[in-house]
Amino acid sequence: MPVLILAAFVRFGATQGVRAGDVSAPQQLASALWQPGVHHVAPLAGQAATNHAVLLAQLRHVPKTAGFESRTFSMGTGTSAESLRYLLFRPATNSARGPLPLVLSLHGGGPRHDFAHLLEPEAPGFAYGLGRLVCEETQREHPCWVVVPWSHQRGWDAANQRLVLGLLAALQREFSVDAKRLYVTGQSMGGSGTWSMITEHPEVFAAAVPICGAGDPARAVRAKSVAIWALHGSGDALVPVEGTRGMIAPLLAAGAKPVYWEYDHATHAETAERAYCEPELIRWLFAQHRP
């Protein structure tokens, strides 16, 4: 697996760049792990575990300094009017690059009670995933829009999904967004929301990264056209690993090619923390596009 040097984190207090390639699976396993299907990944140990801890600490604190804008999207009029508060990260690049991809990040259960918690580095925000998306290195190599809607004390139910889709359409009218490179990711409640978004609206998204989530296995095959890299831990007591296994099995049976990494013995928190530090996550995500 190619090594990604996350040297951009120097300005956030690290004394040197972290070798994210030393964080995850050994290189000799890379070819097997990238085949579609279910792959078991051993716990981190030694220097890899140390590097992971350093990288995670850096990622947690990136979002609050990244310049997210607080905005509100409105849809409908009169008694049918609805609104959705959200955060928007604008890529710092010129328009000569053409339309840029957009990542929809669905928060977990913690921030649903307070919009202000979306960027919190610790509980209840756990914003390290956002940190990976908006850090200097990611934005230098893969500039993108990042959208973080707030579920307003609910889950990612049908009403919220309708608002999110309306928001995505509005952003594509307002900004130069590549409609063939819309991505969705989330952890925990956001992971379940990711599964729901791609099974209910598969035509919208080029790729999805659901982390420690769950979906409706009966509807899983609806997402067969979406590139999927799912991650879950076998030691997850909050959202049992069967939630992801149950989605991957029917997809594979239908001829889809999802990649599923199951972290051996990892808990709910450990899974989310490790997943967003995977060295190849960013390159894989931005390589996906709809026809």
**What does pLDDT average to over the chain?**
88
- Phi first, then psi, for residue 215 (nearest 5°) are -145, -165
The CATH number that applies at residue 182 is: 3.40.50.1820
Taking only the tens place, the pLDDT of each residue in 224-239 is 999 999 999 999 999 9
- pLDDT for 31 equals 55
pLDDT over threshold 60, residue 267: yes
pLDDT for the residue numbered 21: 44
Strands 100-106, 145-149: pairing kind: parallel
* Sign of the alpha-carbon torsion through 86, 99, 66, 124: positive
Domain annotation covers residue 71:
yes
Name the residue with tokens 């989330």: 186
Higher-confidence residue of 77 and 207: namely 207
Mean pLDDT of 184-205: 98
pLDDT for residue 22:
43
Is 49 within the bounds of a domain? yes
Asked if the model's pLDDT at residue 3 lies above 80, the reply is no
Residue 69 has a pLDDT of 98
Q: Give the tokens for residue 164.
A: 């999110």
pLDDT tens track for 11-23: 222 323 333 444 4
Helix (H) or strand (E) holding 246: helix 242-253
Q: Per-residue confidence at 94, pLDDT binned at 50, 70, 90? A: low
Cα separation, 132 vs 73, whole angstroms: 25
What is residue 95's predicted lDDT score, i.e. its pLDDT? Answer: 60
Give the gyration radius of the chain's Cα atoms. Answer: 18
Q: Which domain holds residue 109?
A: 5-286
291 in a structural domain: no
Q: What is the per-residue pLDDT for 204?
A: 98
- Tens digit of each residue's pLDDT (9 = 90 or more) over 108-160: 999 999 999 999 988 887 898 999 999 999 999 999 999 999 999 999 999 99
Percent share of the chain, pLDDT over 90: 78
Number of structural domains the chain divides into: 1
DSSP three-state, residue 289: coil
